[in-house]
Amino acid sequence: MASRGKQFREELKKPGIIISPGVYDGYSTRLVEAAGFRIGAISGAGVSESRLGWADRGVMTFEVNLDNARRLVDCTETLLLRADADTGYGNAMNVHFVVRAFESAGVAALMFEDQVWPKRCGHMRGKSCIPTAEMVQKVKAAVDARRDDDFVIISRTDAAGPLGVDEAIDRLNQYAEAGADCMYADALLSKEDIAKVAKNVPKPLIVNMGLGLRSRNTTPLMTPKELEAVGVKVVSYPRMLSTAALKGMMNAMAVYKEDVMGKNLSVDRPDLCAGFEELNNLMGMKRLDEIEAKFVGG
């Protein structure tokens, strides 16, 4: 079987835009795979928020991020995962070891960005970027470090907000020349900017649509068809499932506080909670039963 990186590259060659939901834990990863998606984007923000309980402001360490990615790879059979390595956790030397580690963990692609550390979510105010030349060296180190030439290196720029869209385009072109396989322009501020970047970069472009961020003055929401029409190859929805999960828990907790604690009732709310069988089916119970029957139940 072809490596995961090779499979990722084959998906990029297919016609049409790729829709890539964001994942961050076992629930979301299995759900995206069960829904038939081929590529999932591990959300660094989702991992930081769900595992650590802290916003995406550079609190999460390399080790936590890597361990989480390895666990998500281990619970999926067909989903190709793109990991988010933040800024590479240091300089170009650090990037070398980060790439080696994530490739060994089994992800198909790895993204890192040109923000100053500690980074912050691309849709937060106060971002700043390292010099272009420094990021170029990180890209070169990443390309050199991979053992499998098909392992996909994705270079992200956050320059559009603080430095302007033309600077973002210039950076992405230099990152492409340095060997990056895909471009990622984060927090573009208009539909026109998205189209301009897509037109002026030489390799497949990834953008995100920030569901859950509608109240902020960030990237305008566009449909996949609209994005495909202007030349975007991959659209990621990094916060769709994490914000949906949080909203669901908030709704359930409100009912629990009101009806269970306040009125001393025992409440069954299938409209708010997944059923026991539904949960077990999603989480691989059938496979566990097969293993047990083969090796234990004899």
Per-residue confidence (pLDDT) for residue 59, from 0 to 100 = 95
Per-residue confidence (pLDDT) for residue 210, from 0 to 100 = 78
Collapse the DSSP code of 157 into the 3-class scheme (helix H, G, I; strand E, B; otherwise coil) and give the result.
strand
User: 99 or 219: whose pLDDT is higher?
Assistant: 99
Question: Nearest 5°: CA angle at 251, between 247 and 252?
Answer: 115
Q: Where do the structural domains in the chain lie, given as residue ranges?
A: 4-239, 246-295
**Sequence-ordered list of residues with C-beta below 8 angstroms from that of 294, at least 6 positions apart, any chain:** none
Per-residue confidence (pLDDT) for residue 258, from 0 to 100 = 82
Per-residue confidence (pLDDT) for residue 154, from 0 to 100 = 98
Mean pLDDT of the region 113-136 = 91
Per-residue confidence (pLDDT) for residue 125, from 0 to 100 = 83
What does the mean pLDDT of the chain come to?
A: 93
Residue 1 structure tokens: 């079987």
Asked if residue 105 lies in contact with residue 153, where contact means CB atoms within 8 angstroms, the answer is no
Per-residue confidence (pLDDT) for residue 216, from 0 to 100 = 56
Which backbone phi and psi does 36 adopt, to 5 degrees? 95, 10
**pLDDT surpasses 70 at 298:** no
Domain 4-239 has CATH 3.40.640.10: no
Collapse the DSSP code of 185 into the 3-class scheme (helix H, G, I; strand E, B; otherwise coil) and give the result.
strand
pLDDT tens digits, one per residue of 226-280: 999 999 999 999 999 999 999 999 999 998 888 777 776 667 788 899 999 999 9
Where would I find the H helices in the chain?
A: 4-13, 26-34, 44-47, 62-74, 92-105, 132-145, 160-163, 165-177, 191-200, 224-229, 240-255, 276-282, 285-295
The DSSP output letter for 256 is I
Residue 266 structure tokens: 């025992």
Q: What is the pTM of this model?
A: 0.93
The DSSP output letter for 115 is B
Per-residue confidence (pLDDT) for residue 137, from 0 to 100 = 98
Which backbone phi and psi does 285 adopt, to 5 degrees? -60, -40
pLDDT tens digits, one per residue of 145-204: 999 999 999 999 999 999 999 999 999 999 999 999 999 999 898 999 999 999 999 999
Beta strand 234-237 with 182-185 is unpaired
Residue 210 structure tokens: 């920030």
**Smallest Cα–Cα separation from 81: which of 146, 16, 136, 151?**
151
Per-residue confidence (pLDDT) for residue 122, from 0 to 100 = 77
Residue 249 structure tokens: 């828990």
User: 216 or 48: whose pLDDT is higher?
Assistant: 48
**Sequence-ordered list of residues with C-beta below 8 angstroms from that of 214, at least 6 positions apart, any chain:** 221
pLDDT tens digits, one per residue of 69-105: 999 999 999 999 999 999 999 999 999 999 999 999 9
